[in-house]
Structure 1
Amino acid sequence: MTHPAPAARVGAPALDAVRERRSWSKVTDDAPSHAQLVEFVAAAGRVADHSSLAPWRLIELRGDDRERLGRAISTANGEGGSSPKPLRAPLLIAVVASFRKSDKVPRWEQEAVAAGVAHTLSLLLDEAGWGVIWRTGHYTRAKAVAEAHGLRKSERLLGWLYVGGKPERDRPARRTPVDAESHLSRMPR
Structure 2
Amino acid sequence: MARRRSVSKVGSKAPDDRELLSLLHSVVTVADHEALRPWRLLTLRGDDRLRLGEALDAAAGTSRADGETNPKPLRAELLIAVVAAQIDHPKVPHWEQVATAAGAAHLLSLALSEAGWGVMWRSGVHTNAEPVRAVHGVGDDELLMGWLYVGDVDPSFARRSAVSSRPVPDPAVFLGAMPR
The alpha-carbon deviation at position 187 of structure 1 amounts to 1.4
In the alignment, structure 2 segments of 5+ residues that lack a partner are: none
Equivalent position of 1:32 in the other structure: 15
2:108 counterpart (121, 126, 142): 121
SS in 2 for 1:120: helix
Structure 1 length-normalised TM:
0.87
Alpha-carbon distance in structure 2 between the residues aligned to 1:94 and 1:42: 18
- Aligned residues: percent identity? 51
Equivalent position of 2:62 in the other structure: 79
Is 1:187 matched with 2:174?
A: no
The alpha-carbon deviation at position 45 of structure 1 amounts to 1.6
Equivalent position of 1:93 in the other structure: 80
The alpha-carbon deviation at position 107 of structure 1 amounts to 0.4
What does residue range 29-178 of structure 1 map to in structure 2 within 5 Å? 29-81=12-64, 82-171=69-158, 174=164, 175-178=166-169
- Matched letter for residue 20 of structure 2: L
CA RMSD of aligned residues (A): 1.2
The alpha-carbon deviation at position 80 of structure 1 amounts to 1.9
- Matched letter for residue 182 of structure 1: V
- Matched letter for residue 47 of structure 2: D
Alpha-carbon distance in structure 2 between the residues aligned to 1:87 and 1:116: 25
Alpha-carbon distance in structure 2 between the residues aligned to 1:156 and 1:182: 31
Residue-pair matches, total: 172
Worse-superposed segment, 145-154 or 34-43:
34-43
Alpha-carbon distance in structure 2 between the residues aligned to 1:182 and 1:70: 39
- Matched letter for residue 177 of structure 1: V
Alpha-carbon distance in structure 2 between the residues aligned to 1:45 and 1:83: 33
Structure 2 length-normalised TM:
0.92
Alpha-carbon distance in structure 2 between the residues aligned to 1:87 and 1:45: 28
Alpha-carbon distance in structure 2 between the residues aligned to 1:107 and 1:157: 14
SS in 1 for 2:13: coil
Worse-superposed segment, 35-44 or 58-67:
35-44
Alpha-carbon distance in structure 2 between the residues aligned to 1:111 and 1:176: 30
- Matched letter for residue 139 of structure 1: H
The alpha-carbon deviation at position 42 of structure 1 amounts to 3.0
